[in-house]
Amino acid sequence: MSGNSPPLKPIQPYLWEIPQDYRKDMRVPARVYASPEMLDQIRKDRALHQLVNVATLPGILQYAIAMPDIHEGYGFPIGGVAAVSWEEGVVSPGGIGYDINCGVRLLTSSLPLKEVEGRIAKLAEEIFRRVPAGVGRGGQVRLDRRSLDRVLERGAHWAVEQDMGLPEDLPYLESTGKIEGAQPEEVSRHAKERGSDQLGTMGSGNHFVEIQYVDKIYDLETAEAFGLFDGQVVILIHTGSRGLGHQVATDYIRLMLQNLKRWGIDLPDRELACAPIQSPEGQRYLSAMKAAANFAFANRQVITHLIRQAWKRIFGKEGGGLRILYDVAHNIAKIEEYTIRGKRLRVLVHRKGATRAFPPGHPEIPGAYRGVGQPVLIPGSMGTWSYVLAGTEGSIQQTFGTTCHGAGRQLSRRQARKSITADQLKEQLRRQGILVYAHSKRGVTEEAPFAYKDVNQVVDVVHQAGIAKKVARLRPLAVVKG
C-alpha cells in the first residue's frame, strides 16, 4: 500500500500536506498530523486515500484533516476532520461514523490509590455485575416508545430527571448532554427497537469502563482546575449510541445513495454518501443524528449512575461521591463558526474519531474550566495509559477546534485474535497489575494493546503541534468490557 500512497509534503514539525493538485477532483489540500516515525504505519492501509477522497466533498473548506491516530474507516478515515460550508456544503454520515456520539466520560473520586488499593478488584467485579456489556446486550432500563422519544429529545437531562444523575452533572457534559434540534420522528422504528433496551449498556468492541489512577501530572494549574491530583482514583467510560446510532447511520446512508444523481453529486467512493446540508434529506439526517447523540449522552449518564451505585456499595459513605470531570464526543457533527480567510463563516464540522478541543475563554466550556481550556479525554488501548489534555488556541487556528481521540488501531481485529489468546493476554496484564473483566474472550483479544498505536506518541504529536496540551496521565488498574 505504501508505494501507492499519496505524497506527504512537510509543512511544519508534525504536520504534513497532500497538495490539492495531487488529484484533479480535490477541492482543498489534505493535512496530516504525525511524527516522521508514524508515517510508515499510517501508509499501511487506505486511510490517506480516504482522506484525499474527503477533500473532494462539495463545500469542504480549507483542508481535509487527519489526526495522528488516523486509520482506515468507512468513507472517512477514523481520526478525520472536515468542515463544510453550512450554506453550500454536504453532510456525510461516514464523517461521523456508525457509532454516533461514541465518546468518553471521566469520573473522579476524592480517594488516593494507597487508601483503596485492596478493594479495586471488588469494585471492578461490582461494576462488571451492574453494567451490561457485549454485542446487542440489553440492560435494566426498558423504554416504551414515548419514553425513548424523551431520551432522544433530552439526552442526559432525561436521566437526571429520572434520578439517575445530579443537576450539577450537566454543565460538565459537552453541549450539557443535550443537543438542541433533535427530532425523534426522524429516527426509524427499527432504530428505536434496537435501542429500546440498550440504555445503560456498554456494548462491545473497544468500549469499556476502566478504573484508573493519576500517575503523572504535566500541568499543575490546569490539573487543579480540573480537580485532579497525583495518585487519585478515577473511572473512565467509553461507549456511544449502541444499535440505535448504528441503525440511524445505516438508514440515512441508504437514503443518500439513492439520491446522489438527483443532487448532481459524483463521489470517488460510495462510502462517502452525503446529502446537501440544506436539502430535506440533509436536515432529516442531522435531526436524527442529534437524537442518536442524545441517546449516547443519556447512555453514559445511566452508566455513571450504575457505577456510582457500585462505588457506594464498595466504599460506603467514607468513599465520597464520584464527580464528572467532563464528557466529550468523538463521533459527531457540530454547527460552529470560524474565521476563514478573514471571513466569519458558519460551518458544519465533521469529527470522526476526533475530539473537540476548545481553548481558554470559549463560551461553551464550563465556567470552572474556562480559564484553562476544555478538558480533552484520550483513552489509550487496554492496558496502556490514557490522558487528560486541555484545548488550546492552536486548535482554533489549525484544526477547527479539534484534536485526536485515542491511540488508533494498527492491527485488524482478526489479526489481533490470531496473535494471542485471551488467557495469555489477561495473564500479561495481570503481571502489570491490571485486572480484566470481560464477557467474551474475543472482546479481550481484539483489543490487545499491540493492536493499537502508541498512545504516548499520538498525544506527543498533538501536544507538540499545539492543538492540545498535556495535563495528566492515567494508568489502568482494572478494565471492564464486553
Q: What is the pLDDT of residues 20-78, one digit of tens each?
A: 999 999 999 999 999 999 999 999 999 999 999 999 999 999 999 999 999 999 999 99
Structural domain includes residue 416:
no
The whole-number pLDDT of residue 418 equals: 82
pLDDT band per the 50, 70, 90 thresholds, residue 409: confident
pLDDT band per the 50, 70, 90 thresholds, residue 367: very high
Residues 6+ apart with CB under 8 A from 121: 435, 478
From residue 427, give the alpha-carbon distance in Å to each of 160, 207, 388, 421, 430: 39, 21, 28, 10, 5
Structural domain includes residue 464:
yes
pLDDT above 70: residue 134:
no
Find the catalytic residue in 157, 246, 405, 439: 405
Q: At what angle do helices 280-315 and 242-263 cross, to 10 degrees?
A: 170
Place of cell 460550508: 85
The whole-number pLDDT of residue 234 equals: 98
- Name the grid cell of 174: 459537552
Length of the chain: 482
Share of the chain above pLDDT 90, in %: 84
Residues 6+ apart with CB under 8 A from 223: 214, 217, 229, 388, 471, 472
The whole-number pLDDT of residue 137 equals: 67
Structural domain includes residue 415:
no
Distance CA 276, CA 85 (A): 10
pTM of the model: 0.96
Domain count within the chain = 1
Question: Per residue, what are the HEC states of the chain?
Answer: CHHHCCCCEEEECCEEEECHHHCCCCCCCEEEECCHHHHHHHCCCCHHHHHHHHCCCCCEEEEEEEEEEEECCCCCCEEEEEEEECCCCEECHHHCCCCCCCEEEEEEEEEEHHHHHHHHHHHHHHHHHHCCCCCCCCCCCCCCHHHHHHHHHHCHHHHHHCCCCCHHHHHHEHHHHCCCCCCHHHCCHHHHHHHCCCCCCCCCCCCEEEEEEEEEECCHHHHHHHCCCCCEEEEEEEECCHHHHHHHHHHHHHHHHHHHHHHCCCCCCHHHCCEECCCHHHHHHHHHHHHHHHHHHHHHHHHHHHHHHHHHHHHCHHHCCCEEEEEEECEEEEEEEEEECCEEEEEEEEEECCEECCCCCCCCCCHHHCCCCCEEEECCCCCCCEEEEEECHHHHHHCCCEECCCCCECCCHHHHHHHCCHHHHHHHHHHCCCEEEECCHHHHHCCCHHHECCHHHHHHHHHHHCCEEEEEEEEEEEEEEC
Q: Give the residue-averaged pLDDT of 175-195.
A: 97
Averaged pLDDT score across all residues of the chain = 94
- Is residue 305 part of the annotated active site? The answer reads no
* pLDDT tens, residue by residue, 69-127: 999 999 999 999 999 999 999 999 999 999 999 999 999 999 999 999 999 999 999 99
Q: Taking Cα atoms as reference points, which of 358, 460, 465 lies closest to residue 473?
A: 460
The whole-number pLDDT of residue 442 equals: 79
pLDDT above 50: residue 2:
no
From residue 382, give the alpha-carbon distance in Å to each of 241, 310, 421: 21, 22, 15
Q: Give the structural domain span for 356.
A: 2-410+452-481
The whole-number pLDDT of residue 238 equals: 96
* pLDDT tens, residue by residue, 112-133: 999 999 999 999 999 999 998 7
Structural domain includes residue 457:
yes
Q: Decide: 103 and 375 in contact? Cβ < 8 Å.
A: no
Q: Give the residue-averaged pLDDT of 378-398.
A: 94
Q: What is the CATH number of the domain that holds 402?
A: 3.90.1860.10
pLDDT above 80: residue 391:
yes
pLDDT above 90: residue 482:
no
Structural domain includes residue 418:
no
- Name the grid cell of 143: 423504554
Q: Which residue has the higher pLDDT, 1 or 162?
A: 162
Structural domain includes residue 137:
yes
pLDDT above 70: residue 138:
no
Residues 6+ apart with CB under 8 A from 88: 58, 59
Structural domain includes residue 439:
no
Structural domain includes residue 434:
no
* pLDDT tens, residue by residue, 304-318: 999 999 999 999 998
Q: In one letter, which amino acid is 57?
A: L
pLDDT above 60: residue 1:
no
The whole-number pLDDT of residue 441 equals: 81
The strand pairing partners of 236, in sequence order, are 106, 210
